[in-house]
Chain A
Amino acid sequence: MSQEQIELITIDALLEKVRAKKDQGCRLVQISATQLPGQIELTYSFDLNSQLTNLRLSLPGEEPHLPSISSIYLCAVLYENEIHDLFGVQVAGIAIDFKGKFYKTAIKFPFATAKLPCASSAAAPGATTPPATTGAPK
Chain B
Amino acid sequence: MARTVIPFGPQHPVLPEPVHLDLVVEDEKVIEARPSIGFIHRGLEKLAETKDYIEFVYVAERICGICSFIHGQTYCQAVETIMNIAVPPRALYLRTIWGELSRIHSHLLWLGLMADGMGFESLFMHSWRMREKVLNIIEATTGGRVIFGSCKVGGVRRDINADMIKTILKDLDEIEKDLRSITSVFINDRSVKARLCGIGVLSKQEAYDLGCVGPMLRASGVAQDMRKLGYAAFKDIPVEPVTRTEGDSYARCAVRCEELFQSVNIIRQAFAKIPEGEITVKVTGNPTGETITRTEQPRGEVVYHLKANGTKNLQRFRVRTPTFANLPAMLKVLPGCDLADVPMIVLTIDPCISCTER
**Which of A's residues lie within 8 Å of B, judged by CB?**
1, 27-30, 32-36, 43, 45, 50, 52, 54, 73-75, 77-78, 85, 98, 101-105, 110-111, 114-116, 118
Q: How far is the CB of A3 from chain B (nearest CB, A)?
A: 10
Q: How far is the CA of A39 from the CA of B102 in the complex (A)?
A: 39
Q: Are A30's CB and B228's CB within 8 A?
A: no
- Interface-forming stretch among B59-67, B85-93, B179-187, B203-211? B203-211
Is A1 in contact with B292, judged by CB distance below 8 angstroms?
yes
Smallest CB–CB gap between A23 and chain B, Å?
13
- B-side contacts of A98, CB under 8 Å: 36
Residues on B with beta carbons closer than 8 Å to the beta carbon of A116: 46, 49-50
B305 touches A32 (CB 8 A): yes
Per the bound structure, the CA–CA distance linking A75 and B291 in Å amounts to 23
B312 close to A (CB within 8 Å): no
Q: List 30 A-B contacts (CB under 8 A).
A: A27-B211, A29-B301, A29-B320, A32-B305, A32-B320, A34-B307, A34-B316, A43-B305, A45-B292, A50-B224, A50-B228, A52-B292, A52-B294, A54-B292, A73-B209, A74-B209, A75-B209, A75-B325, A75-B328, A77-B328, A98-B36, A103-B41, A103-B357, A104-B39, A105-B43, A110-B43, A110-B46, A111-B45, A116-B49, A116-B50
Q: Is the CB of B49 within 8 A of A114?
A: yes
> Considering the chains assembled together, what is the distance between the CA atoms of A32 and B305 in angstroms?
8
Q: A1-B289, A50-B228, A52-B294 are in contact. Are A45 and B328 (CB under 8 A)?
A: no
Dominant SS among interface residues on chain B = mixed
B289 and chain A: residue at smallest CB distance: A1
Q: Are A50 and B328 in contact (CB under 8 A)?
A: no
Which residues of the partner chain A approach B38 to less than 8 Å between Cβ atoms?
A: 85, 101-105
Chain B positions within 8 Å of A74 at CB level? 209-210, 328
Q: Which chain B residues numbered 283 to 312 have a C-beta less than 8 Å away from chain A?
A: 289-292, 294, 301, 303, 305, 307
Q: Are B292 and A78 in contact (CB under 8 A)?
A: no
Are the CB atoms of B328 and A78 closer together than 8 Å? yes
Q: Residues of B within 8 Å of A, CB-based: how many?
A: 36
- B229 an interface residue at 8 Å Cβ cutoff? yes
- Contact present for A1 and B291 (CB under 8 Å): yes
- Assembled-state Cα–Cα distance A23/B337 (Å): 31
- Chain B residues, CB < 8 A from A101: 36, 38
Residues from chain B with a CB closer than 8 A to the CB of A29 are 211, 294, 301, 303, 320
Cβ–Cβ < 8 Å partners of B290 in chain A: 1
Q: Give the complex CA separation of A52 and B226 in angstroms.
A: 12
Across the A-B interface, the 6 shortest Cβ-Cβ residue pairs: A75-B211, A103-B38, A30-B320, A34-B316, A75-B328, A103-B41
Q: In the complex, which residues of chain A have a beta carbon less than 8 angstroms from the beta carbon of B357?
A: 103
Considering only residues 90-137 of chain B, those with a C-beta below 8 Å from chain A are: none
Min Cβ gap B267→A in Å is 24
B37 within 8 A of A: yes
Nearest A-chain residue to B41, judged by Cβ: A103
Q: In the complex, which residue of chain A has the Cβ closest to the Cβ of B332?
A: A74
In the assembled complex, the Cα of A50 lies from the Cα of B292 at a distance in Å of 13
Chain B CB count within 10 A is highest, among A32, A50, A77, for A32
Q: Is the CB of B50 within 8 A of A118?
A: yes
B318 touches A32 (CB 8 A): yes
**Smallest CB–CB gap between B24 and chain A, Å?**
14
